[in-house]
Chain A
Amino acid sequence: DAGITQSPRHKVTETGTPVTLRCHQTENHRYMYWYRQDPGHGLRLIHYSYGVKDTDKGEVSDGYSVSRSKTEDFLLTLESATSSQTSVYFCAISESTGTDTQYFGPGTRLTVL
């Protein structure tokens, strides 16, 4: 998976608890993305980063925050998890935005009870 790891791979949590997902890359790519994948919706962009400490919102950013303190790590935090955030979360990286290939991690399956 192009030097991208996600942790944890599976997580079950309860409504109202904070959750942090981690994406780690070894490719030194500038851009990193968090998507969620739900049946009938395809992949939807949550947040993305275009450099250390540089982040921006995607189309479904409410309830999520991100941080990128190092090139290789991009964290996604669910500030207070809700059942609607039960999903599979994918991290992706690319050298540039849009005009380039994105490489995806293996995904994290999150269940919020």
Chain B
Amino acid sequence: SQQGEEDPQALSIQEGENATMNCSYKTSINNLQWYRQNSGRGLVHLILIRSNEREKHSGRLRVTLDTSKKSSSLLITASRAADTASYFCAIYGGTASKLTFGTGTRLQVTL
């Protein structure tokens, strides 16, 4: 399967703490994307990182990519209750030539 696999499946932290979630995959990739899904809503794109990039930032988000280990991580700094959501990695590459989503990490940020 070309599906990315997120780890952990669920994460509970307190407001102000950092949250780190990881994505591993098995094929070569063109790019890897992270999406957020609030309960009952559609997915929202967060960051796209290309295979020749190692790190990208967007506000409180930091994404790293290690193609040698076939893994990526999403770091959310200074978490807020509004960050409570499911986070999905999606990979583009391999033979599918389509974006393939993982099963997600459920993040709960408590006050």
Contacts and interface: CB of A to CB of B under 8 A. Distances in A.
A and B associate in one complex: yes
B110 interface: no
B41 interface: yes
Contacts of B45: 101-103
Interface residues of A, number: 23
Interface residues of B, number: 23
Contacts, number: 55
B42 A106 contact: yes
Contact of A42 (B33, B42, B103): B103
B35 to A, nearest CB: 8
B48 to A, nearest CB: 6
A99 B31 contact: yes
A63 interface: no
Contacts of A99: 30-31, 92
B88 interface: yes
